[in-house]
Chain A
Amino acid sequence: MSDVVLRLAEVERVYRAGEGSVRALAGVSLTVRAGELVAVMGPSGSGKSTLLSIAGGLEVPTSGSVEVAGVGLGGLDSTAVAHLRRDRIGYVFQDFNLVTDLTAAENVALPLELGGSSARSARAAAGAALDEVGLPEVADRFPDQLSGGQQQRVAIARALVGDRRLVLADEPTGALDSQTGLAVLQVLRARIDAGAAGVLVTHEARYAGWADRTVFLRDGRLVDATPERDDARRLLAERS
């Protein structure tokens, strides 16, 4: 599990604001490997969303570099970045963002079809992706016929369909009750364990607990990160 799927190096992002400027990110470095889920926590305005946008190629850093699946985004033109995004990166949002006029299977197949796959092979891959999130039975239903938790699991299937290996999740449990939220985290975690890489932005510690590491962002800087795993049973014994 040593292959790096996402690498941010000294990423800086400055926005112009009137006469001055705002540094949303001030030199952030972060590496996420296959099989790894990294949680990002921090107060609003600390740069979490900017970090996610830059990792996903939606925004360009003012300086520093971004690499996804071994490809540096800095050297690509906007069309190539769009293709990389479509083929390699999936997003999961708080409000699910499924296309309401398409069935669950069509939603999941969409990035593949846009990428030129035949309808038949895209459909087969979508079926497999829905199986992996435990929802084979909803393939032909429309988003409004699904519960929030089911929609989010469909969104996870779409995020990791085909060759996509990086999922960027922005408060994916924000619109769900806590039991459903945990069920969604369980599905996301299982997909990561199967070899994907993930970044999870959340303000809920309980969900961040599912990540391998949590990094803390403040004023555009990573101020701290949880260390490697310890023997939790030993910790428990010491606590008692």
Chain B
Amino acid sequence: MQRNAVRWGLLALFVDGPKYGYQLRTELDTRTGGSWAVNVGQIYTTLDRLVRDGFVATAGSDDQGRELYALTERGRAALADWYLTPVTETERPRNELAIKLAMAAQDPSVDITIVVQQQRTESMRQLRDYTDLRRQANEDVDLTWSMFLDHLIFALEGELRWLDHVEGTVLRRRYTRPASASTSAPAPGSKSASFPAEAADTAESGRARR
């Protein structure tokens, strides 16, 4: 989990009023369905930093003597700024799958259809499991959790479409460049015989999707 995400996620929790330390953990857990898995230590460290930066300040204690923290004007402004700034620094270019497929596409000893299909099956399994959770989630009761699951579902849907595209692109290249295929790319096994038909099929289904 990116440090930034935890920091801003915690800060955002203060919008509806003062909170005590452990309460942040409980609320973060509830809103992300336990999926963020942030430990208590990290919560307190992050809270300290928010105080240090002047985004959050102590605000007395509740009736059980727990120290409360509240959003400062400065914190509110920073949060507003965060909401209005697009996210640019992500793990996207270093995504393991992107690297795996980009490399596999260049490696003649790898049957890309198998790599793609195994990933497709796994991505589809995750998509089904998140869809299960999304069906049980009630957005009237827990909007954050529902939207979080929607994010995962859309991301996986995109990943699956991208897998189709990768497969189509690689197969089309191998089909339209038979010379290089015979010299530098000994096609793995019997798959080579069916490449033309497969490439055409994938291209067609890719078009139908758009």
Given the complex of chains A and B, what is the CA–CA distance between A235 and B132 in angstroms? 13
**B100 within 8 A of partner (CB):** no
In the complex, which of the residues A46, A209, A233 contacts B35, with contact meaning CB atoms closer than 8 Å? Answer: A233
Interface core residue of A209, A219, A233, A240 (most chain B CB under 10 Å): A209
Contacts of B123 in A (CB 8 A): 205
Given the complex of chains A and B, what is the CA–CA distance between A175 and B198 in angstroms? 26
Least CB distance from B168 to A in Å reads 9
Size of B's binding interface in residues, CB under 8 A? 39
Least CB distance from A205 to B in Å reads 4
Contacts of A16 in B (CB 8 A): none
Contact of B1 with A240 in the complex, beta carbons under 8 Å: yes
**B49 within 8 A of partner (CB):** no
**B139 within 8 A of partner (CB):** no
Contacts of A203 in B (CB 8 A): 205, 208-209
Size of A's binding interface in residues, CB under 8 A? 33
Main secondary structure of the interface of B (DSSP, over half): helix
Contact of A206 with B125 in the complex, beta carbons under 8 Å: no
Stretch touching chain A among B19-27, B154-162, B181-189: B154-162
In the complex, which of the residues B133, B157, B202 contacts A232, with contact meaning CB atoms closer than 8 Å? Answer: B133
**A214 within 8 A of partner (CB):** yes
Least CB distance from A128 to B in Å reads 24
List 7 additional contacts besides A209-B124, A216-B120, A233-B133; criterion CB under 8 Å.
A43-B204, A208-B124, A225-B121, A226-B128, A232-B126, A232-B129, A233-B33
Q: Which 6 residue pairs across A and B have the least CB separation, nearest first?
A: A236-B35, A232-B129, A209-B131, A43-B201, A205-B160, A43-B205
Residues of B within 8 A of A (CB): 1, 33-37, 117-118, 120-121, 123-133, 135, 152-153, 156-157, 160-161, 164, 194, 197-198, 200-202, 204-205, 208-209
